[in-house]
Amino acid sequence: MSFKSIDRLIRRNSKTKLSRNIVDGIYDQKEEKYVQSLRGLLLANNQLPDKFDDYHVLLRFLKMRGFNIVKAKEMFLNMLKWREECAVDAIAKDFKFEEYDAVKRCYPHGFHGVDRFGRPLYIERIGLVDLNKLMQVSSTDRYVKYHISEQEKTLSLRYPACSLVSKKHIGSTTAIFDVKGLGMNNFSKSGRDLFIEIQKIDSNYYPETLNQLYIINAGAGFRALWKVLKACMEARTLAKIQVLGTNYLSTILEAVDPSNLPDFLGGTCTCSATGGCLLQDKGPWTDQEISQASKGVFGKGQKSFDEINTTVACENFPGHQEPSVGKLHPISGWKRTLGMLLKDNQVGDMNENIQQNKVNEQISEKIQELENCSAQTQETLQALLQKQNELANHIEQLRKLLREAINADNKANVLILK
């Protein structure tokens, strides 16, 4: 790491740009070293935009590449290149999916609450997809852009809101795909191409955002199709997928509370007031106060939780097993301030001081490392100079021997001539 990079590190950390785990404050020391190494490498080459200068973002790429820093860096840079080429920021900000309602009718899918850990729960009824109708009301290109915009919304809104409510870092999604009736015969080439394109985007540019995927109601037809589809998927992603038959419910209920599982999958939720369980974007991120508070906490120029006095309406998600929540506040019912909601985390000035101390320790370690390197270099130079002097003396001795040999030959020749 260059002196310029160290200076940049000091300036950026003084503004708390490096995102620490402000919710649970727990790190794996080995993982943290890898993250710091990757971060330092990217900073040294001016390849780390502020938007992605985040502990958990870098960790996702490291995990996807088995903590190989070189491969993780390559994957990260490919992601940045893809975002620029596809104008992802513009898609997230400006893309309008006017055919949203029509697509939902021929492709039932959506977020529906959270799992027991507090992660967003995403459901698709792929077996009911009408691909011909989908291609009539939309197109592959527009649906891919819609998918990208949803991924960006999950990163910027859904995960922060879930993290705030669960009081721990949430950075992945639990998904259920109902494939009842789906097989090789009714999954056309356009459907396979769309699946492969979305899988490619998620795996390459949004790595490690899948916690677990449950594929349910998988019959013989789908299992034959699955052999084809999984060939294009990464081994790490495949390890997170369970293919289940019709006796799936006990497995699903281990991960999801019945109240967050639609009745058509064996749960107790009907969402009758909103027209159906997959027609709304159900989750803590839809609560305006939670959404605004999470932006303040996890957004640019991150604030300490204790600095925010906003009152948050904590929506009752019974399927989320919230640790150390305690009883309802006697005055406000479900209304609780952020300070009350997060008091167990002890996040505030003390945490900032700990952060700064760790940053100072890292810089001190880097300075010591450079000083040691300088001392070693000095020793090496001295050794080289000594070696140079020895070689010069050796060369001079050889020249002297050569001159003496030449003089001896000359004298011998003179004697012969006489």
Q: Of 333, 282, 283, 339, give the one whose Cα is nearest residue 311.
A: 339
> Tell me: the pLDDT tens digits for 235-265?
899 999 999 999 999 999 999 999 999 999 9
Task: Answer yes or no: is pLDDT of 304 > 50.
Answer: no
Separation of alpha carbons 6 and 23, rounded Å: 27
Separation of alpha carbons 220 and 254, rounded Å: 25
Mean pLDDT, rounded, for 98-105: 93
Separation of alpha carbons 177 and 243, rounded Å: 9
Burial class from Cβ neighbours inside 10 Å (0-12, 13-18, 19+) for residue 412 reads: exposed
CB-based burial, 249-261: b 16+ in 10 Å, e otherwise:
eeebeebbbbebb
E strand map for 13-165: 109-114, 120-124
Helices of type H across 138-179: 140-153, 159-166
Task: Answer yes or no: is pLDDT of 72 > 90.
Answer: yes
pLDDT of residue 64: 95
**Among positive and negative, which fits the CA dihedral 62, 65, 70, 76?**
negative
Backbone angles phi, psi at 287, to 5 degrees: -75, 120
Give the residue, 41 or 367, on which the prediction is more confident: 41
Task: Answer yes or no: is pLDDT of 409 > 90.
Answer: no
pLDDT of residue 376: 74
Q: Are 298 and 290 in contact (CB under 8 A)?
A: no
Task: Answer yes or no: is pLDDT of 81 > 90.
Answer: yes
pLDDT of residue 90: 97
> Tell me: the pLDDT tens digits for 319-375?
555 444 333 333 233 334 444 444 444 444 555 566 667 677 778 777 877 777 777
> For the chain, what is the largest distance between any 2 Cα atoms, rounded to a whole number of angstroms?
130
CB atoms within 10 A of CB 269: 19
Give the residue, 154 or 15, on which the prediction is more confident: 154
pLDDT of residue 16: 42
Q: Are 114 and 317 in contact (CB under 8 A)?
A: yes
- Please give the DSSP secondary-structure letter assigned to residue 115: -
Strands 241-243 and 311-313: unpaired
Give the residue, 298 or 245, on which the prediction is more confident: 245
pLDDT of residue 350: 53
State what percent of residues in the chain have pLDDT above 90: 48
Alpha carbon distances (Å) from 222 to 217, 249, 283, 337: 9, 19, 30, 48
Q: Are 192 and 232 in contact (CB under 8 A)?
A: no
Q: Is the pTM of this model over 0.85?
A: no
Q: Of 85, 23, 9, give the one whose Cα is nearest residue 53.
A: 9
Q: Are 278 and 107 in contact (CB under 8 A)?
A: no
pLDDT of residue 385: 84
Separation of alpha carbons 305 and 310, rounded Å: 10
- Kindly indicate the confidence band of residue 228, based on its pLDDT and cuts at 50, 70 and 90: confident
CB-based burial, 47-65: b 16+ in 10 Å, e otherwise:
ebeeebbbbbbbbbbbebb
Mean pLDDT, rounded, for 152-159: 95
Mean pLDDT, rounded, for 66-81: 96
Q: Who contacts 214 (Cβ-Cβ below 8 Å, separation ≥6)?
A: 174, 175, 176, 177, 242, 244, 248, 251, 252, 255
CB atoms within 10 A of CB 95: 15
> Tell me: the pLDDT tens digits for 120-129?
999 999 999 8
pLDDT of residue 310: 37
Which value, to the nearest 10 degrees, does the dihedral of the CA atoms of residues 91, 97, 103, 105 take? 130
Give the residue, 369 or 6, on which the prediction is more confident: 369
> Tell me: the pLDDT tens digits for 43-62?
999 999 999 999 999 999 99
Between CA 113 and CA 119, with CA 116 as vertex, the angle to 5 degrees is 55
Separation of alpha carbons 227 and 231, rounded Å: 7
| Identity at 28, one-letter amino acid code | D
Q: Who contacts 119 (Cβ-Cβ below 8 Å, separation ≥6)?
A: 162, 170, 172, 173, 174, 211
- Kindly indicate the confidence band of residue 275, based on its pLDDT and cuts at 50, 70 and 90: low
pLDDT of residue 109: 94
| Residue in the block written with tokens 């969402």 | 271
Range name among 91-95, 178-182, 229-233, 242-246 with the lowest pLDDT average: 229-233
Q: Are 264 and 176 in contact (CB under 8 A)?
A: no
- Kindly indicate the confidence band of residue 182, based on its pLDDT and cuts at 50, 70 and 90: confident
Q: Who contacts 354 (Cβ-Cβ below 8 Å, separation ≥6)?
A: none
